[in-house]
Structure 1
């Protein structure tokens, strides 16, 4: 069943996508009516004790100076030693560990799922924040518990002055253009690069749903390497039809245009780019967590026939393309039946019925064996 939001508050999703997505901020009052946080601050702190979970503490008035950053995992003693106010705990990828948060993330499937990143949750003591800053990606900030005052400023860039003496990218200059007090169920949407500063008014919890946005630098570096890998050595720079040069030492505009056209031809390979893009956008953010489950479902054939199911590891990512039928999982492009790819990405499970409908996935060293061996397919944990 598709649980994706159809409205953001009273606004239809189509209006949001047309007028706000990647264009301008939007405050959505009562986006989740009657919202009750799936996690308390105490439970979030408990997660920060685990070595496999990425967590951070930000202290506005730290022992080593202002805006001190501490990396987890933490101990109970670390939390007991914290001041009464002006600190924030941040825990990444909570959707990989808590089923209720994974369900919440699915509400945002009105956007391409392969664009969704992880869900971060922050707990802040009174006055706690991470300072004025900006992100390079879209983010929805859902107030889960307590109240937080959000200040939204202008767009910022790499050249915007930063505060020195802290590893955090805190803006040195920040002038609010809008300010809103958010209560549980309220949500703030911010497009990339809009500066913002959230300050807790009493203890509070905020859920951040972020999106993947690879940089142009990363795209060009990675794509160029992928395209070059498949190019034969005989393809070279050519200049047939060359005219007599006015100055033989000059690299003239015609030569540059000729090179641009040749590069454009090499990049106009939709299939190859689609395969690369699907792999890049499904790379696991925490591959070590996926690898922890490698081979745990090695007896899957017998178990599925007895009524068990396999599910996509919560730390894994998947997407598909239709022409040709390809399943992208954890950075790999796997050729499969289009119908199976569509079904699996929607259900994220495999049952005995799938073996009847798509017997090729059950072959020895086939799709299921491959995904089980790398930890991508697992038996459902008790809390999922």
Structure 2
């Protein structure tokens, strides 16, 4: 299903034309030439935000002035690295031109601070009202509208106390940082509306009261509840006929069009096949838009997991395996089988990630 979607998207992006004009990236990126040729004109010096003069009346960010100092023609198989804030303009040089562009974006310092302030504000009691340090004097003809120096100092102290309290709470700050760095920059992947209209169409690990408005992988994790017990299957116990006899149900394409969602039993079976080194055990991949990251504990005894802007509860015996889970977007059975056998918590976690479409089976 993922391969079918990729082919569909590539087909729609296969066209012969130039970009609308010169552009700037705020992140560093890599451009791969899939087929045909494309000429890239590039400014080798960076532009500051003040020098980013844009053409007016457009919905896209196109520079009004462009003075390239370097030109490069990419042929099939070539790659071009573009540092942040280097203006560039690509023009197709062949009818079969197909270009892949990958951007690697990190939060700006401004975004990080803004998120920090918002997170700290959530911890301030909502009933904590503003108290003027100097009461108004009815006899003062100029008292109305005055913000006294004492009020300025009081307000500054309120803000300082809130930020200090937040920064002093290591667990809260790590939650904030992990969530901020993994938060999707675009709209989360959501199942189609028709796939979730009735309880009968819900995956078996959800409930009718699930917040269907937010069906991102991280939000779905709380509805995925697997218990593997202390044992795992042997490879001799696993075959396609067993799966059919167990009554595993699968969704139609219409139900799956918003995400490759596995029933709970299907996710468990996949994990057990990998743990048992069963013939044909699948390789797993990170979903293309899922962002997984971990933060080691201060004593390096464990890790905390984050997915798509949310902390993910992890059983203690699975924490040691989070670096493996996060560092590789392609997880082969040879790397996963032993950790899965050792850790019940890891088996449960991987099954949940499969069920919520943060991981999927490689075709």
1:173 Cα offset (Å): 1.5
Deviations 1:8-34 (A, max 9, x none): xxxxxxxxxxxxxxxxxxxxxxxxxxx
1:132 Cα offset (Å): 0.8
Match in the other structure for 1:150 = 40
Match in the other structure for 1:345 = 326
Provide the rounded CA distance (Å) in 1 between the counterparts of 2:190 and 2:147: 53
Contact kept in structure 2, 1:294 and 1:375, CA below 8 Å: yes
Provide the rounded CA distance (Å) in 1 between the counterparts of 2:147 and 2:120: 31
Match in the other structure for 2:119 = 226
Match in the other structure for 2:287 = 314
Structure 1 residues 348-367: aligned runs within 5 Å? 349=331, 351=336, 353-362=338-347, 366-367=348-349
Secondary structure of 1:298's aligned partner: helix
Indicate how the Cα distance of structure 1 residues 228 and 249 shifts in structure 2: closer, same or farther if over 3 A, else same: closer
Match in the other structure for 1:20 = none
Indicate how the Cα distance of structure 1 residues 296 and 311 shifts in structure 2: closer, same or farther if over 3 A, else same: farther
Count of residues in correspondence between the two structures = 260
Contact kept in structure 2, 1:140 and 1:189, CA below 8 Å: yes
Contact kept in structure 1, 2:34 and 2:98, CA below 8 Å: yes
Larger radius of gyration: 2
Match in the other structure for 2:198 = none
Q: Does 1:280 align with 2:254?
A: no
Q: Does 1:292 align with 2:259?
A: yes
Aligned match for 1:192, one of 84, 98, 104 = 84
1:292 Cα offset (Å): 1.6
Provide the rounded CA distance (Å) in 2 between the counterparts of 1:158 and 1:182: 31
Match in the other structure for 2:149 = 251
Provide the rounded CA distance (Å) in 1 between the counterparts of 2:310 and 2:283: 19
Match in the other structure for 1:209 = 102
Contact kept in structure 2, 1:330 and 1:376, CA below 8 Å: no
Provide the rounded CA distance (Å) in 1 between the counterparts of 2:5 and 2:357: 22
Provide the rounded CA distance (Å) in 1 between the counterparts of 2:27 and 2:90: 17
Structure 2 alignment gaps of length 5 or more = 134-142, 192-216, 218-257
Contact kept in structure 1, 2:124 and 2:162, CA below 8 Å: no
1:381 Cα offset (Å): 3.6
1:358 Cα offset (Å): 1.0
User: Normalised by the size of structure 2, how large is the TM-score?
Assistant: 0.57
Provide the rounded CA distance (Å) in 2 between the counterparts of 1:186 and 1:377: 30
Match in the other structure for 1:172 = 64
RMSD of the alignment, in Å?
3.9
Structure 1 alignment gaps of length 5 or more = 1-43, 56-72, 75-88, 90-122, 241-246
Provide the rounded CA distance (Å) in 1 between the counterparts of 2:164 and 2:131: 13
User: Normalised by the size of structure 1, how large is the TM-score?
Assistant: 0.55
Provide the rounded CA distance (Å) in 2 between the counterparts of 1:193 and 1:295: 41
Provide the rounded CA distance (Å) in 2 between the counterparts of 1:228 and 1:345: 30
Deviations 1:167-191 (A, max 9, x none): 2221111122333333344433222
Contact kept in structure 1, 2:285 and 2:362, CA below 8 Å: no
Contact kept in structure 1, 2:26 and 2:105, CA below 8 Å: no
1:325 Cα offset (Å): 1.3
Aligned match for 2:165, one of 241, 259, 266 = 266
Structure 1 residues 56-205: aligned runs within 5 Å? 89=13, 123-125=14-16, 128-153=18-43, 154-155=46-47, 157=49, 160-203=52-95, 204-205=97-98
> Structure 1 or 2: larger strand share?
1
Secondary structure of 1:299's aligned partner: helix
Match in the other structure for 2:353 = 371
Provide the rounded CA distance (Å) in 1 between the counterparts of 2:108 and 2:64: 24
Deviations 1:176-212 (A, max 9, x none): 2333333344433222222111122224332222112
Provide the rounded CA distance (Å) in 2 between the counterparts of 1:288 and 1:158: 38
1:124 Cα offset (Å): 4.9
Contact kept in structure 2, 1:162 and 1:172, CA below 8 Å: yes
Indicate how the Cα distance of structure 1 residues 343 and 162 shifts in structure 2: closer, same or farther if over 3 A, else same: closer
